[in-house]
């Protein structure tokens, strides 16, 4: 084992304490220590023998922590909170279901005889009162009611089968 690695091993307890002070969480501190050690081992050529290794390592660790905090901040700004993800897709799924249901209703409406389709469209879709729809179609209110009843029943049967 080289002198550099031996000195790193002797610094390990101090580095862990410093990481714990920065991160304030044991798991984050362990991760931070590992990242700092990896960075130090990769960049060992930039360390000047004869200088204080502990100061060099703590500067690396601090820079790693700053990078981590910045990364977390960006993730928090970029991604929605976990709770928001619980309903992801539900609106889109519901829209797809509604579109499929509307296609079924359109097909069923188009399959009705014209008189029933008119009665259903005026009363159920457009919301006209029975009297207004009957006057518009120039038919007695009883005729409108029977067409509407037959139209509703036919729609219900066709939509059940769909």
Task: Enumerate the domain spans of the chain.
Answer: 3-84, 93-161
Cα–Cα distances (Å) from 17 to 85, 88, 92, in that order, read 36, 41, 49
Structure confidence at residue 142 (pLDDT): 95
Q: What is the pLDDT of residues 135-153, one digit of tens each?
A: 888 999 999 999 999 999 9
Angle at alpha carbon of residue 54, lines to 49 and 59, rounded to 5°: 100
Q: Are 121 and 109 in contact (CB under 8 A)?
A: yes
> Percent of the chain at pLDDT above 90?
39
Q: What is the pLDDT of residues 53-85, one digit of tens each?
A: 888 998 899 999 999 999 888 877 766 566 665
Structure confidence at residue 81 (pLDDT): 62
The domain 93-161 is classified under which CATH number: 1.10.760.10, 3.30.70.890, 1.10.10.10, 3.20.20.105? 1.10.10.10
User: Minimal CA–CA distance to 148: which of 102, 113, 111?
Assistant: 113
pTM for the whole structure = 0.48
85-107 average pLDDT score: 74
d(CA 122, CA 136): 9
The greatest distance separating any two alpha carbons of the chain, rounded to the nearest whole angstrom, comes to: 107
CATH topology of domain 3-84: Rna Polymerase Sigma Factor; Chain: A (1.10.1740)
Same fold across 3-84 and 93-161: no
């Amino acid at each position: 084992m080289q002198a550099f690695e031996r000195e790193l091993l002797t610094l390990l307890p101090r580095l862990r304490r410093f990481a714990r002070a920065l991160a304030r969480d044991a798991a984050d501190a362990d991760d931070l220590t590992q990242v700092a050690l990896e960075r130090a081992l990769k960049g060992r050529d930039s360390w000047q023998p004869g200088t204080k290794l502990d100061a060099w390592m703590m500067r690396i660790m601090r820079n790693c922590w700053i990078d981590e905090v910045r990364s977390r901040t960006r993730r928090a700004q970029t991604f929605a909170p976990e709770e928001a993800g619980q309903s992801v897709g539900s609106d889109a799924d519901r829209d797809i279901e509604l579109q499929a249901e509307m296609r079924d209703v359109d097909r069923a409406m188009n399959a009705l005889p014209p008189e029933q389709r008119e009665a259903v469209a005026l009363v159920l879709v457009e919301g006209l009162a029975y009297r207004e729809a009957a006057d518009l179609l120039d038919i007695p209110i009883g005729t409108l009611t029977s067409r509407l009843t037959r139209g509703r029943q036919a729609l219900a049967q066709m939509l059940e089968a769909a």
